[in-house]
A = this chain, B = another copy of it.
């Protein structure tokens, strides 16, 4: 078991990584009169027995459900969930536990952020992606029809429990998708993590407990470190978007279907690597190493679109400010920088190169 302390300007909380956290949950929670769990029917069917095991009789939490799927990450479902909280007499001293993947975490966090202008919540991420990425940093939110995460707020949990046991029931494809975010962590800020993932792909993909615990906690430590320095994304935090400019564009162009977030980011990282090659911010040798490692964690799914369509989608990216497009380039391995002067031509060239890889896939 490892504990990483997240410290930002506005909050301080622990992320606990390890086995057996779920089945001992009750004593890890703050004592509250009313506890609510937001989860998906699938996760609850698999894990409710373990979740409830440590709760005393007469202190069982109320359970709210959100079906799985990006289409449920909308304000209309938030409103339904808030109405359920209200009808169960949840008040400002109630506690919400978000138990599920990234969408449950985002929606749960946002629900906690806006219900009665803010109640406390706990994250128990059930996917690798949610454990290494969305459960740290306080970003919560929902989608608009016109774009992902265009609505939301910053609201930190009281604590996060990343239970590795939960990954036992995670589909293989989702495991791989999450590992791409860990790879990203290595490439932009932790060369040791990158090398570990480069050398131990097989063990990690076979879900070796020790290997996973290291990968997960190193990824979380990297993110906690960055968010601690720049909570509101005015500077450093932008590097977390390595692979995300094109990744988000792919997701938007595919209407959030076909690709998992991590997979789109993996393609986006390949495009960003190519831009790094073109700009000379990363040597060909290192770029090839990263590219090979990304593909080792594949396969990456095929998709069909044009460079122009991705460019258009990238121009609507919410990371842009006052019309300036910001882009994260790798600086060799273990470092990255944010630039603002990427031209459309350069971006098209990098995307075209990536699309040629997509065709081969």
Contacts and interface: CB of A to CB of B under 8 A. Distances in A.
Interface residues of A, number: 39
A147 B86 contact: yes
B144 A117 contact: no
Given A91-B321, A91-B322, A115 B146 contact: no
Contacts of A92: 318, 321
Contact of A83 (B87, B91, B146): B146
A245 B261 CA distance: 46
Interface in A300-331: 316, 318, 320-323
B79 A114 contact: no
Interface in A132-159: 139, 141, 144-147, 150-154
A142 to B, nearest CB: 9
Contact of A153 (B87, B89, B141, B153): B153
Given A75-B75, A145-B83, A115 B151 contact: yes
A114 B89 CA distance: 25
Given A89-B316, A91-B322, A321-B93, A114 B83 contact: no
A203 interface: no
Contacts of A113: 153
Contact of A151 (B114, B141, B144, B320): B114
Contacts of A79: 74-76, 144, 151
Which 6 interchain pairs have the tightest Cβ spacing? Answer: A93-B322, A86-B146, A117-B152, A93-B321, A75-B79, A33-B322
10 contacts: A75-B75, A79-B144, A82-B151, A86-B144, A86-B147, A91-B322, A92-B321, A114-B153, A117-B139, A117-B153
Interface of A: 32-34, 74-76, 78-79, 82-83, 86-87, 89, 91-93, 113-118, 139, 141, 144-147, 150-154, 316, 318, 320-323
